[in-house]
Structure 1
Amino acid sequence: MEIKRDRYLNKIISFMWDGQVKVITGIRRCGKSYLLGNLFRDYLLGQGVQEDHILSFELDLARDIRFRNPLELTSAVREMVEGKDEQFYLFVDEIQMSDEVPNPYNADGKKITFYDALNDLKSLSHLDIYVTGSNSRMLSSDILTEFRGRSDEIRVHPLSFAEYYSAVGGDKSEAFDNYAFYGGMPLILSRPTDAAKMTYLSSLFSEVYLKDIVERKHIQREDVLSSILDLLCSSIGSLTNPTRVADTINSKQKRAGENVVALNTVKSYMDHLSDAFLFTECKRWDVKGKSYFDYPNKYYCEDLGLRNARIGFRQQEPTHIMENIIYNELMIRECAVDIGIVYSSEKNSKGNVSQVAREIDFIANAGGRKTYIQSAYALGTEEKAITENKPLDLTGDSFPKIIVRHDIRKRWYDDNGILNIGIIDFLLDDTVI
């Protein structure tokens, strides 16, 4: 089954021959290798590129194991392309498998890494370089630091609902329910039964993601990392911060004295989970004050199937799941996303007036355009409708405002110009944002 991933493919095509190293990143098993080695390769062949002008190295395979040495890789590529006038394409898959090797000219000096190899090969004007990197040893922050503005990063996500539905077809509501339960990891579509899907997702966490983080970051307290992961999976869409997470772990597990989990450890481990693309932190923005709050913020899971697997496919809160799906969709559409905070003056039971914070689920900025978005599973009563609309009214500006709902199918605008749109309609129409 071929899944179209035109959003990423077109982005790669737009970066061709720009003099930069194209680095395709994202959570492991989200389809990076397939995007480069199948979809982009097929595009090049269709454009008349000769197959032997696409140089491919798959560092996770035994046949290419010697090229994990960056000096061997550089030497082999230069031998293939130097002295030739034709254009060549270099694909290096699973670049994080590359080794660090001693400098042959200075054994006590800094080791040679794949960054050195790629920066060297980048000097060849007739070579266009593309690499994929899983998060285990080559995260986004590393790329930005090591290449210092000399790379294009293409961030790949698990399947969007539109990509998922283009592959499965059928009833849209049924497809959405399955997507919300099993998520968008591409290999899910090839698993024949529900049990096989659940087993696959569970094994990704235990056998891939956690092992990667433990190995890369030299984690000493795997039990703490596991507890943090469970808490974040259970609290998607809820405000939290490292202090709350540490307090919850210490309280629930009755930790005391030397067994207390330190705040710095929790902060560090939460950063590792974010760096590994498993979670994304979404910060709160004061709409009128135009400033960010330090804490608390929200964390959303990169893939809901992984989240559901981690908690045993229990705790299926439809409101939070739908909110996470919308957030992921906005990230796929390359929006900068914040949580909006606005204030209203309200009287309490004693008649005193105070400022009450109201939340706008998402402020999405794309291409210089701002859009306010509320996620509402159902607005069955007038009171609920007023609650969802009030924060949008309090912004006091004319930027587009949307309420994404699960309980409607046909989109419509209310008297205040706020678009009400069904969740499936929203996910399948990327012109809305």
Structure 2
Amino acid sequence: MEEILRNGYLEQLLSYRWNGQVKVITGIRRCGKSYLLRRLFRNYLLGHGVREEQIISVELDLTRDIRFRNPLELSAYVRGIAEGKKDEYYLFVDEIQMSDETANPYNPAGKKITFYDALNDLRSLPNLDVYVTGSNSKMLSSDILTEFRGRSDEIRVHPLSFSEFLPASGCGRDEAFEQYAFYGGMPFVLSRPNEAAKMNYLKSLFSEVYLKDIVERKKIEREDALGMILDLLCSSVGSLTNPAKITDSLKSRSRVSVSPNTVRAYISHLEDAFLFSESKRYDVKGKSYFDYPSKYYCEDVGLRNARLGFRQQEMTHIMENIIYNELVSRGLSVDVGVVFARTVNDKGSSVRSPREIDFVVNSGGRRVYIQSAYAMETPEKAAAEARPFALTGDSFPKIIVRRDTAGRWYDESGVLNINVMDFLLDKNLI
């Protein structure tokens, strides 16, 4: 397998060099964070005049570096190398969420020392540029804004996009898309020698990495419920749901009793591990969000397929998930759009009926509406997909992403119809 290029992320890292901030590389485990930092970025540095000894690398998930899980040990070790030296140093710390808290030796009963303290301390060294990777969103996204007091930059890494997957796959475009829709974009999949090895690898990620990590870190008592919630989310990607609905499904299908609050907490844990993202419903004209229901999308369709035993291959949902992931990986804000039409009910009264737009995509002051339609076999189906666009009451661009059309073309209403592969490969479209 040839080297996988992740130029967009590498360019982000290069733009943040020596800016005085802690660079925090986040994302689901095994999506390529360490590869980006310790291979692509490292090779760039070594090719541009940085010597090997100027790169301090610590991997907290390895027994070799286990003592550095103590933030005081980490700080002392790095200071011992870089402090007071004329050379510039780069610090790479892998899987920072595995760092432990430790008692303050000067005040054992006081607030514990955390990795935030260690990194804030090291960030003050003028000849040290700090980079860390982590797979815990709450520790590394929301809390970090407070703990680092605005002194950090986040680079969110996702599994391979289709544009990254295609050249590395060695396949033609159509075959690569079929593989991508089945196996997803976890980088290591590309190096597996056959179909069985690819499937087994993806299944083992869930059982041996993600679920074990969540159970141990969150001290989960209802592992059975966590697994069932995970299965429900995987089977219903692209469908509206909420904790109460999942609670009812567990009770009716499996006779498992779990409270909506527990379901809500377990979904939060899955989001925290970057396994799922929530897309909220947005009232396009009312300019407000609905609390529930929402849609949940899996971070990687290959992982979703593996969890379901590669049995549920509904391409309509899989393609919608792929499009959502592509939009998010481009740094765009993505909501489920809701518009309302006037219809007549059985009693002859006029009522407001909701209509859905798959994605309302915002970036700054720009907006694009997108429908995902795997196939539109009849004029009636095509009209149904485009109908919600007319209810928005604005002139923002409108796109229907399809598998059953070649290239791209505009219909008489100005709606762009585009093949899904063209959409995924055109970074300038939105």
- TM bucket by the smaller chain? over 0.9
* Distance apart, 1:111 and its partner CA: 1.7
1:88-127 superposed matches below 5 A: 88-127=89-128
User: Secondary structure at 2:197's aligned position in 1?
Assistant: helix
> Could you tell me which residue of structure 1 aligns to residue 14 of structure 2?
13
User: Secondary structure at 1:213's aligned position in 2?
Assistant: helix
Task: Measure the CA separation in 2 of the matches of 1:146 and 1:432.
Answer: 37
User: Secondary structure at 1:2's aligned position in 2?
Assistant: coil
Task: Measure the CA separation in 2 of the matches of 1:137 and 1:420.
Answer: 38
* Distance apart, 1:61 and its partner CA: 2.4
Counterpart of 1:343, as a letter, is F
* Distance apart, 1:361 and its partner CA: 0.4
Counterpart pick for 1:414 among 411, 414, 419: 411
Task: Measure the CA separation in 1 of the matches of 2:153 and 2:168.
Answer: 29
Query: Per the alignment, do residues 212 and 295 of structure 1 end up closer, same or farther by CA in structure 2, a change over 3 Å counting?
Result: same
> Could you tell me which residue of structure 1 aligns to residue 311 of structure 2?
314
Matched, 1:187 2:188: yes
Counterpart of 1:15, as a letter, is Y
Counterpart of 1:114, as a letter, is F
TM-score (norm 1): 0.96
Counterpart of 1:311, as a letter, is L
Aligned length: 429
* Distance apart, 1:139 and its partner CA: 4.4
Q: Mind listing any 5+ residue stretches in structure 2 that lack a counterpart?
A: none
Deviations 1:162-189 (A, max 9, x none): 1000201322111101100100000000
1:366-405 superposed matches below 5 A: 366-405=363-402
Q: In the alignment, is the contact (CA less than 8 A) between 1:140 and 1:275 conserved in 2? A: no
Matched, 1:197 2:194: no
Deviations 1:192-243 (A, max 9, x none): 1111111111111011100111111111111111110010011000000000
Task: Measure the CA separation in 2 of the matches of 1:254 and 1:15.
Answer: 52
Matched, 1:147 2:148: yes
> Could you tell me which residue of structure 2 aligns to residue 265 of structure 1?
262
> Could you tell me which residue of structure 1 aligns to residue 3 of structure 2?
2
User: Secondary structure at 2:393's aligned position in 1?
Assistant: coil
Q: In the alignment, is the contact (CA less than 8 A) between 1:205 and 1:310 conserved in 2? A: yes
Q: In the alignment, is the contact (CA less than 8 A) between 2:135 and 2:274 conserved in 1? A: no
> Could you tell me which residue of structure 2 aligns to residue 164 of structure 1?
165
* Distance apart, 1:146 and its partner CA: 2.6
* Distance apart, 1:349 and its partner CA: 5.1
Task: Measure the CA separation in 2 of the matches of 1:169 and 1:63.
Answer: 36
* Distance apart, 1:417 and its partner CA: 1.3
* Distance apart, 1:60 and its partner CA: 2.2
Runs of 4+ with deviation above 6 angstroms: none
Q: In the alignment, is the contact (CA less than 8 A) between 1:237 and 1:323 conserved in 2? A: yes
Q: Aligned residues: percent identity?
A: 69
Query: Per the alignment, do residues 236 and 206 of structure 1 end up closer, same or farther by CA in structure 2, a change over 3 Å counting?
Result: same
> Could you tell me which residue of structure 2 aligns to residue 176 of structure 1?
177
* Distance apart, 1:348 and its partner CA: 3.7
Q: Mind listing any 5+ residue stretches in structure 1 that lack a counterpart?
A: none
Q: In the alignment, is the contact (CA less than 8 A) between 1:139 and 1:276 conserved in 2? A: no
> Could you tell me which residue of structure 1 aligns to residue 287 of structure 2?
290
Counterpart of 1:215, as a letter, is E
Task: Measure the CA separation in 1 of the matches of 2:140 and 2:116.
Answer: 13
Q: In the alignment, is the contact (CA less than 8 A) between 1:139 and 1:275 conserved in 2? A: no
> Could you tell me which residue of structure 2 aligns to residue 38 of structure 1?
39
Query: Per the alignment, do residues 161 and 22 of structure 1 end up closer, same or farther by CA in structure 2, a change over 3 Å counting?
Result: same
> Could you tell me which residue of structure 1 aligns to residue 83 of structure 2?
82
TM-score (norm 2): 0.97
